[in-house]
A = this chain, B = another copy of it.
Amino acid sequence: MSSSSILAEKTDQAVAELRDAELDGWLTFARETHNLGEPCLPLVLGEGFVWPGMVLLTATGRKIAITETHDADNVRAHGVHEVYPYESSLQSAFHEVLDEVEPKRLGLNYSKANPTADGLSLGLYEQLREYIDASDHRIELVSAAPIVESVRGRKSETETERIQGAVDTAHGILREVQTEWRPEWTEAETAAFVHERVADLGLVTSWDAETCPAVTAGVEGEYGHAKPGDVTIPPGEVMRIDFGVIREEYASDMQRVYYHQPAGETEIPDGLRSDFDDARDAIRAGFDALEPGVQGYEVDAAAREYLTERGWPEYQHGLGHQVGRYVHDGGTYLGPQWDRYGDAPYGEVREGEVYTLELGIQTDYGSISLEEMVQVTADGARFMTEQQTDPWVLDAN
């Protein structure tokens, strides 16, 4: 199973990170994850827990799962963990593992800034403290966020392939909009067409289908993540679609801008071309700044300055977020140094991470809002989407 190959890749990555981070182990503690979620579990266990369970990855390379007996078979099936099943006492099994591993310093999944590294609930944390207090061990508990961010952010080979699949699929559907579109389509009808294509493929949208795709038709269209409405695109104006799909558990997220060319017009008007180029080249400026070692805000600043120097107002969000299992994955954020983003814009960009680059300007033609997906390489970045270089002229048949 390729899920197990991701699991092997990610747990190996974690073990390597633990050595660098001077942690003896990374402990994930969760239960009822079908409902409650523990964003790290797919990476460290490849499964959910119904009953309380733990995954301990150690710097010495051990991959230990402590599971209630009913959860044990699913975990064993991956062939990655040493499984310590328990029937009535998780504490006893945990103490047995502590006696073997003797960790002095463990990372836990908590983080103010990064939701994907913050899966440990306060109740389970208190429970864990009790278990440790009742053991013969004294253990320093620290945030595992740096490990989570690296393991989650730096995509393995299999993960990169899956994201590429999600990108290509979304791109294909966005191209179909261009060829299938009818001038009488409202935003909502355009969205319905997209939903139909997603359903045909047996997939789901990257975020809530009510606003995925988000569709903004013409100057009158409502910008942002509003639900698609009953506006059509007047000739001479643009439509922008923000959309992505989840494919094999990995997401994509992109925006494309379409142009409703009036009958008889053969060239894209100079004004539109110039506005479009400003948005496109601002993204390009961000792309050029993206490389391992820079901080998130530096990448945002490159794009932001490019736009403001050309007289456009600042976009009211960051240039880019990470994409992975979630369409908004945590960790380093390519955003400005604003309060609301906390520490995320100060994070360091790392090879293998996947980001969006997105920004929009409100023009006389409507919203020109573009979004590309890129992956950081050893010395820069590469587009996972084919960057949109011109407005896609709608084919009215």
What is the interface of chain A, defined by CB distance below 8 A to chain B?
31-32, 34-37, 39, 50-51, 68, 70, 86-90, 108-127, 130, 143, 207-208, 224-225, 326, 328, 338-340
Contact = CB atoms under 8 A, between A and B. Distances in A.
A115 B36 CA distance: 8
Contacts of A87: 340
Q: Which of A115, A208, A328 has most chain B Cβ within 10 Å?
A: A115
Contacts of A121: 110, 115, 118-122
A32 B328 contact: yes
Nearest to A326: B35
- Closest 9 pairs between A and B when the two form their complex, measured CB to CB: A118-B123, A110-B122, A32-B115, A37-B37, A110-B123, A118-B121, A88-B339, A111-B123, A112-B127
Contacts of A111: 123
A35 B37 contact: yes
Contacts of A122: 108-110, 118, 120-122, 125
Nearest to A108: B122
Contacts of A39: 35-36
Given A88-B338, A88-B340, A121-B110, A34 B207 contact: yes
Contacts of A124: 112, 118
9 contacts: A32-B328, A34-B208, A35-B326, A36-B115, A51-B340, A110-B126, A117-B123, A121-B121, A122-B122
Given A32-B328, A119-B121, A121-B121, 20 more contacts: A31-B115, A32-B115, A36-B118, A36-B119, A51-B340, A70-B224, A70-B225, A86-B340, A108-B122, A110-B121, A110-B122, A112-B123, A114-B123, A117-B123, A118-B121, A118-B123, A120-B122, A120-B123, A122-B125, A123-B143
A339 B89 contact: yes
Nearest to A73: B226
A64 B127 CA distance: 31
Q: Which of A70, A114, A127, A340 has most chain B Cβ within 10 Å?
A: A340
B37 A36 contact: yes
A123 B50 CA distance: 23
A29 to B, nearest CB: 10
A266 B349 CA distance: 74
A31 B68 CA distance: 29
Contacts of A126: 110, 112
A217 B100 CA distance: 42
A308 B31 CA distance: 31
Nearest to A110: B122
Nearest to A341: B88
A229 to B, nearest CB: 14
Contacts of A143: 123
A326 B31 CA distance: 14
Nearest to A340: B88
Q: Which of A36, A89, A123 has most chain B Cβ within 10 Å?
A: A123
